[in-house]
A and B are shown apart, each in its own frame.
Chain A
Amino acid sequence: MPAKRPQPRFPEPDTQPFWEATKRHELTYQTCDKCDAVVFYPRRHCTACGSGELTRRLSKGQGRVYTFSVIMQSRHPAFAELGPYAVAYVDLDEGFRMMTNILGVQDPTKDIHCGMRVKLRWEDQGEGEIALPTFEPA
């Protein structure tokens, strides 16, 4: 069995609700009740105005590749034998940018482009564990 990816670690109160929601295959982000700013990564305060009143919302999981790299060489045991894999920033339609992987392409150095439409694809990490949000071409 291959080594496990680095997993989010808890207790970590800012990001724990995000990862709990992934167990239900829900991709969540926050908006500020005071100034409507979109907040991501998850926090307890609004990064635009400092307000502590945020609402957690459900993303539709659709967006565009902002940028990406294809990792050819990683010494981490979970990735070392994987072959080339794409890490990207994806801009979700709701206005937040997240780090992720782009899966479901033949050759990641040729088949992924900035601006490309992508959709959410969950990668389960095991029974009762968090699920990893990744993306594939829409």
Chain B
Amino acid sequence: MPQRRDAAIVGIYEYPLRVAPGVSPLQIKAESAAKALEDAGLSWADVDAVYDTGGDQGIGGLGIAEYFGIKPRLIDTTYVGGSSFEFHANHARTMIAAGKCNVALLTYGSSAPSDRRAIGTAGATGVGPASPINNMEDPWGLTLIGNYAMVKTRHMFQYGTTDEQFAAISVATRRHAMRNPEAVKAMTDLEFVGVREITVQDVLESRLIAYPLRLLECCMVSDGGGAVIIASPDVTRNVRKKPVWIIGCGEATKYRENNGDITVSAGAQAAPIAFGEAGVSPAEIDVLMAYDSFSITVMCLIEDLGFCKKGEGGAYVGDAHLVFDDPRKPALNTDGGGLSSNHPGQRGIFLLLEATRQLRGESTSQVRDAKLAVAVGNGGQLGSRHATAVTILAVD
């Protein structure tokens, strides 16, 4: 079956700073948009679709279109947390294929640490509008990190996965981060203790934040942002860089249910749709950009996307082949991931950015002859309710 060539990523930009006081999310978005268009060789006036998580100003996507000064034919403000950007890429592909737009702009900007937001450990505030979820969860003091930690507890119980195996994810990711100057600067600026490669022992000796998750299994909280330009086949003929085609898309949501299995993410439902559409199998993937809010997120996504059987992720990642220069593929999070490069609250856009760099041959941890990449975003909170989107990318 021929792979689809409906739409391609043609321009990217990653905002370089992880600590950017005095710059607003809107400014990060606009600067990133301009630089991504420049990367593509396109102009502001070419954009006819805006994808945004909404919320910066005004009503949803209205405020962002006005701020940019763009009059789009299409606005999509799907917001499902950190995976929103894979949803946006998938939707842009579909709408471009349907002829509804030609040049889609996806942007992200955040100033979480400069705003002194304690995302992972704040716990529920107990203020704001009442809802069933708030009323049935807030009083017991669960933090965001604790939410993911509950999934790790169950994974260890159900499959015998060990802390050492989870640690292998952090170790491989840090190795990639140390090769990425922007990640090194991020860790330095955010005052990491020891900006260096780490060992399994380092991870096991780092302090517990929410048992059984330790500090070095948790993503950083940084400023940051970026932009992605997705264009139709006609437009790709006139761009500066090699088009990175979106060849498969899948999406699903999952929430807590009576008798549900918390170790299975929505990725289990999204992946067969995406791989089926792409006509490729997990074994063929060169680069896996998996949302690493925490070690457990990666563990579940690796299993649920079919890189190994469910419950065998521990042995799979513990075999030390996640790094870019190992002949066994795929390589994992070659930019340093949320664990060691950047995580401004919603990391999804960075998965698309690094997957594109890999397929263009521009990564700081370049996988040789990379032809196929997967970006899999996981938004919301893994242990309660989340949305997973899989975007499969290819180059000719």
Contact = CB atoms under 8 A, between A and B. Distances in A.
B209 interface: yes
Interface in B116-158: 118, 121-127, 129-143, 145-147, 149-151, 153-154, 157-158
A74 B126 CA distance: 14
Interface in A36-89: 38, 40-43, 66-76, 78-79, 82, 84-85, 87-89
Nearest to B122: A75
Interface residues of A, number: 51
Interface in B233-257: 256-257
Interface string B363-394: 00000000000000000000100000000000
A41 B141 contact: no
A28 to B, nearest CB: 12
Contacts of A100: 140
Contact of B118 (A38, A75, A78): A75
A69 B120 CA distance: 14
A72 B126 contact: no
Contact of B207 (A7, A10, A72, A114): A72
A42 B126 contact: no
B149 A69 contact: yes
Contact of B141 (A5, A66, A95, A98): A5
A76 B124 CA distance: 7
B208 interface: yes
B135 A70 contact: no
B256 A97 contact: yes
Contact of A97 (B149, B151, B213, B258): B258
A46 to B, nearest CB: 12
Contacts of A91: 258-259
A5 B146 CA distance: 17
Given A15-B136, A89-B262, A67 B146 contact: no
Contact of A72 (B132, B211, B260): B211
Most A CB contacts (10 A, CB to CB) among B137, B146, B149, B208 go to B146
Nearest to B260: A97
A88 B141 CA distance: 10
A66 B262 contact: yes
Contacts of B133: 41
B112 interface: no
B153 A114 contact: yes
A8 interface: yes
B130 A12 contact: yes
A71 B143 contact: yes
B361 interface: no
A64 to B, nearest CB: 12
B306 interface: no
Contacts of A98: 136
Nearest to B156: A114
A91 B261 CA distance: 12
A100 B150 CA distance: 12
B212 interface: yes
A66 B150 CA distance: 9
23 contacts: A5-B139, A5-B141, A6-B126, A6-B134, A8-B135, A9-B134, A12-B132, A14-B132, A18-B136, A41-B133, A68-B153, A71-B142, A73-B210, A74-B121, A74-B141, A82-B141, A84-B211, A99-B142, A101-B140, A101-B141, A108-B211, A114-B154, A134-B140
Given A15-B132, A74-B123, A87-B140, 14 more contacts: A5-B138, A6-B141, A8-B134, A9-B126, A41-B132, A70-B210, A71-B141, A73-B209, A74-B121, A79-B141, A87-B142, A91-B259, A97-B258, A101-B141
